[in-house]
């Protein structure tokens, strides 16, 4: 399967998908936020993937964002940790995830 098809399938089929890097503190903050909200998510640790560079390049092409984390909810690109945290503080995150959180 091509990288584009793999990424597109994940974005399409996962409610919450986080493209992350294992050493990234911003990625940890994103995962901690979803954990605190009891919201299940799928995480792809890009730095552990054999085709890491291809995935990074395709995500950058798709989102115009080269940094991590790179988060999608219901197929919609949310952005990095700062944008996600800002959405949460403004009350804009829960409406996107309330239907599949374990509250």
Q: In the chain, where are the structural domains located?
A: 3-98
- The pTM assigned to this predicted structure is 0.94
Contacts of residue 85, Cβ cutoff 8 Å, sequence gap at least 6: 29, 33
The reported pLDDT for the residue numbered 5 is 96
The reported pLDDT for the residue numbered 103 is 63
The reported pLDDT for the residue numbered 35 is 96
- Tell me the pLDDT tens digit for each residue of 21-64: 999 999 999 999 999 999 999 999 999 999 999 999 999 999 99
DSSP state of 1: -
Whether the pLDDT of residue 84 is over 70: the answer is: yes
The pLDDT-based confidence of 1 (bands split at 50, 70, 90) is confident
CATH topology of domain 3-98: Glutaredoxin (3.40.30)
Q: Residue 76's beta-bridge partner residues? A: 73
């Amino acid at each position: 399967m091509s990288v584009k098809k793999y990424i597109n399938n994940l974005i399409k089929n996962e409610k919450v998908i986080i493209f992350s890097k294992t050493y990234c503190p911003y990625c940890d903050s994103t995962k901690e936020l979803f954990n605190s909200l009891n919201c299940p998510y799928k995480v792809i640790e890009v730095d552990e993937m054999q085709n890491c560079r291809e995935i990074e390049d395709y995500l950058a092409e798709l989102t115009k964002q080269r940094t991590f984390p790179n988060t999608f909810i219901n197929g919609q690109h949310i952005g990095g940790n700062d944008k996600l945290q800002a959405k949460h503080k403004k009350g804009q995150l829960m409406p996107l995830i309330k239907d599949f959180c374990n509250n």
